[in-house]
Structure 1
Amino acid sequence: MQVSLDKMVDILKAAAESSRLRILALLSRGDLTVSDLTEILGQSQPRVSRHLKLLMEAGLIDRYQEGSWAFFRLCDADAARKFVMELVAGIDPADGQAERDLERLDAVKSKRQARAAEYFSRNAASWDHLRALHAPDKAVEAALLKLVGKRPFQSMLDLGTGTGRLLEIFSPLYRRGIGIDMSREMLSVARANLDKAGVSNAQVRQGDIFSPPVERDSFDLVTIHQVLHYLDDPARAIREAARLLRPAGRLIIVDFASHNLEFLREAHAHQRLGFSDKQIGEWLAEAGLDLEESQDFEPKSGGEAKLIVKLWLGRDRRLLIADPTNDSRQTAREVA
C-alpha cells in the first residue's frame, strides 16, 4: 500500500485500537451488519458505528445498503485488502478475546444458516419439481470446472448468484469473488452457504443484473447461471456482463435450450422458454465477445417434459500483451 506519510499515519491510527482491529479481523471472514457486530463485540450500536466510520474514512472498509440493512466489508481495493489481511494474520488465534469473537461470529452465522434452511424448506417442493426436468446439477458443475481449468485468476463475478453455489465451487481459483442478486432472501441463503463452506474470499451484494454495483473491466470470469430465462431483455444482460470483463476475460452462461414447456411461465415465472445457440451467439457477438464453446446436458429421465441444459462460453476479443518498452516490469495494455 503506497500512500503519503500523513495518510499512512491516519490508516495506522484507525487500525491501532482494540475494537477496530477486532472489527477488521471479523470482516476478514465475511460481510457483517452493525447488529452482527454489536452482538459479537458486546458494545452499543453508536459506539460500533463510530468505529466503522473511522475505518471507512481510513479506506479500510466499505459500506453497502441492502434494503433496510447496512452491511460492511473490507475495501474492494486489492492493496487495502492485502494490508488488512496481513495485519489480522498477525493476531494470535489463541488470544482469549479473538477466540471469544470467533465463537460469537459462529453463533451469528448459525442464525443465518437457520434462516436459510427455513427459506429452502418453504420452496423445496417447487425447486425439486423443476430439477427433476433437467440434468443433475453435479454434471453441469463438473463441466464448468473442467471448462474454466485449474489456473488461478484474480476475480470472479456471479450475476444472479442465487445460493452462491458457483462462488463456492470456484473459490479455490479466484482471489476475490462477488455475487450479485436482487433477492434479499437468496442473499441470506448465499451468505449462509458460503459461511458453511468456509469461503472467505467471496462476498454477495444486492444489485440489479442490468446495473451491477461493480466497476467495469474488472473481472476475469463472469457467470450467469440459470438467470436469463427470468429476464425480459437477456441481450441487455449479456451486454452489461461483457462490459465488466477484463481483456480476454470469459463469460459463462448456463441456461435452458429452447423448449415448449409453457407451464414454466406461470409456475416458475420464466419469461423466456430457453435459448438457441444462434441466439446466444448473436448476443455475444453484439457485446464484443466470441462464442468459443457450447455444451448440452440431457436429463436422465426419458419423459416428454424435459429440459436440456446448455452451457455457452464467450470470450472478450480484446487481448493483453506485454509492453515492449518496459523490460523490468511486465505491464500490459489493451488492444482491440
Structure 2
Amino acid sequence: MDFGLDNLVDILKAAGEPTRFRLLALLSAGDLTVTDLTEILGQSQPRISRHLKLLAEEGLIERYQEGAWAYFRLMQDGQSAGLVRQLLTAASPSDAVLQRDSERLAAVKRVRAERARDYFSRNASAWDELRRLHVSDEAVEGALVKLVGTTPIDSLLDLGTGTGRILQLLSGVYRRAIGVDASRDMLSVARANLDKAGVVNASVRHGDILNLPLEGQDFDLIVIHQVLHFLDQPEIALSEASRMLRPGGRLIIIDLAPHSFDYLRSEHAHVRLGFSHQLMDEWLKKAGLELDRTVDLKSEKASGDALDVTIWVARDQRLLIADDAAQETVLLAAGRA
C-alpha cells in the first residue's frame, strides 16, 4: 500500500468515527440495505444514510440498486479496501458494541431465512407450478441440457434441489447425483418425484447450501437452479459450490436477470431482484472460478410479470493450470522454453 498523506488521513477520518466503523464491520459480513442497518444500529435512516454517503465518497463502500432497494457493501478491490480490512481485523471480536451489532445482524438474517423456509414449506407441493408463472421452464431446461452436453458425468450435485427436477432432467447423463435442500417438505416431494420417474442413481438430503454436509472436491458438475435470489449472501453459496468441485469441474448457475418486480420480495420471499453479469463474474472470480460462458434467455410472455433468465457456466481452472505447468516443464526439458 502506498497512500499520500492527505488521502490516508481522509480514509482514517471516514473510518474512524464510531458509527461509520460499525457500518464497515457490518458490511464486511455481507450486503445490507439502509433498513437493515437502521434496525441493527437503532439509529435514524437519515443519519445512517449520511454516514453511508461519506463512506462511499471515500471509496470505502459501494452502492447498487435492486428495484426499489439500495444495497451497500464493502469495496472489493483497491488499496482503500485493503486498508479497511486491516483496520477491521485490528478490532477486538469481543468488543461489546461490535458483538451486539453482530448479534443483531444475525437476528436480521435469521428472520430472512425463516421467511424463505416458511415460504418453501407452504408451497412445496406446488413449487414447480409457482416457478412457471415467472420462468419459461422449457426454454431454460433446453438450454441447460445443451450446455451440459451428452458426455457422461461421474457425479452431479444439485444445490437447492427443490422438487428434484434437475436430478430428473439430467438423469441420463450422470453416474450418481445428490440433491441438497434446506426444506424437509421439498425433500419429501423430490423423493416422491424421483421414485415416480424411476431415477435410482440420485438421492436427496437435508442441508444448508451455505454450509454443505459433504466432502469437498467430489463433483464434476454442480447446478444451482433458481436458488440464489432467495439468499442473503449468494457469494457464500458460490464459494461452497467451488469447494465441492473437482479440478476442471463445472458450475452452472441459472437465475433471474436484473428486474424491478419488487412484489416478489413480499409475496415470494425473494431477497435479490436478479443478478447482473458483472456482479456474478465478480463473485465467481472471488470463489476461484473462471466464467466460461453466459447465456441470456428472454421471456416470450406478454405479461408485465415476465422475467428474463441468465445461465452462467463457470469452470474450476486447476486442471488447466496443471496442464500448462506440465507443458512448460516438457518444453524446458527439451530446451524450447
TM-score range, shorter chain: 0.5 to 0.7
TM-score, normalised to structure 1, is 0.57
Pairwise CA distance, 1:130: 4.9
Give me the whole-angstrom Cα distance separating, in 1, the residues matched to 2:122 and 2:150.
32
Summarize the alignment of residues 186-197 of structure 1 with structure 2, pairs less than 5 Å apart.
Answer: 186-197=186-197
In the alignment, the residues of structure 2 paired with residue 137 and residue 175 of structure 1 have an alpha-carbon distance, to the nearest angstrom, of 24
Change in Cα spacing, 1:122 to 1:172, as seen in structure 2 (3 Å) is closer
TM-score for both structures, normalised by structure 2: 0.57
Partners of 1:224 and 1:133 in 2: how far apart? 17
Displacement of 1:173: 1.3
Report the counterpart of residue 133 of structure 1 in structure 2: 134
Seq. identity, %: 53
Give SS of 2:252's match: strand
Task: Measure how far apart 1:128 and its partner are.
Answer: 4.1
Distance 1:223 1:122 in 2: 20
Matches of 2:202 and 2:129 in 1, distance apart?
A: 27
Report 1:260-299 matches (<5 A). Answer: 260-299=260-299
Unaligned runs of 5+ residues in structure 1 are 1-118, 325-336
Deviation digits for residues 58-115 of structure 1 (CA, Å, limit 9, x no counterpart) = xxxxxxxxxxxxxxxxxxxxxxxxxxxxxxxxxxxxxxxxxxxxxxxxxxxxxxxxxx
1:274 and 1:306 map into 2 onto residues whose CA distance is 13
Q: Offset at 1:132?
A: 2.6
How does 1:88-107 map onto structure 2 within 5 Å?
none
What CA distance in whole angstroms lies between the structure 2 residues aligned with 1:122 and 1:208?
17
User: Quick one: which amino acid aligns to residue 227 of structure 1?
Assistant: V
Q: Which amino acid aligns with 1:154?
A: D
**Corresponding residue for residue 101 of structure 2:** none
State how 1:103-252 maps to structure 2 within 5 Å: 124=126, 128=129, 130-134=131-135, 136-252=136-252
Change (3 A) 1:182 1:121: closer
Cross-structure match for 1:95: none
One-letter code aligned to 1:133: H
SS state at 2:307 partner = coil
> Aligned partners of 2:194 and 2:303: how far apart in 1?
35
Residue by residue, what CA displacement relative to the aligned partner does 1:21-45 show, whole Å, maximum 9, x if unpaired? Answer: xxxxxxxxxxxxxxxxxxxxxxxxx
Runs of 4+ in 1 over 6 A off after TM superposition: 119-122, 320-324
Pairwise CA RMSD: 2.2
- Distance (whole Å) between structure 1 residues aligned to residue 269 and residue 128 of structure 2: 12
Report the CA distance between 1:123 and its aligned residue. Answer: 5.8
In the TM superposition, 1:10-89 aligns within 5 A as none
5+ residue gaps, structure 2, are: 1-120, 327-337
Say which SS state the counterpart of residue 248 (structure 2) adopts. strand
SS in 2 for 1:319: helix
Counterpart secondary structure, 2:299: coil
Kindly provide the CA deviation profile for residues 121-151 of structure 1, in whole angstroms up to 9, marking residues without a partner as x: 8864x864552333x2121111111101101
- Cα distance in 2 between the residues matched to 1:129 and 1:163: 12
Q: Aligned partners of 1:121 and 1:283: how far apart in 2?
A: 30
CA contact (8 A) 2:124 2:185 kept: no
CA distance in 1: counterparts of 2:282 and 2:167, whole angstroms: 27
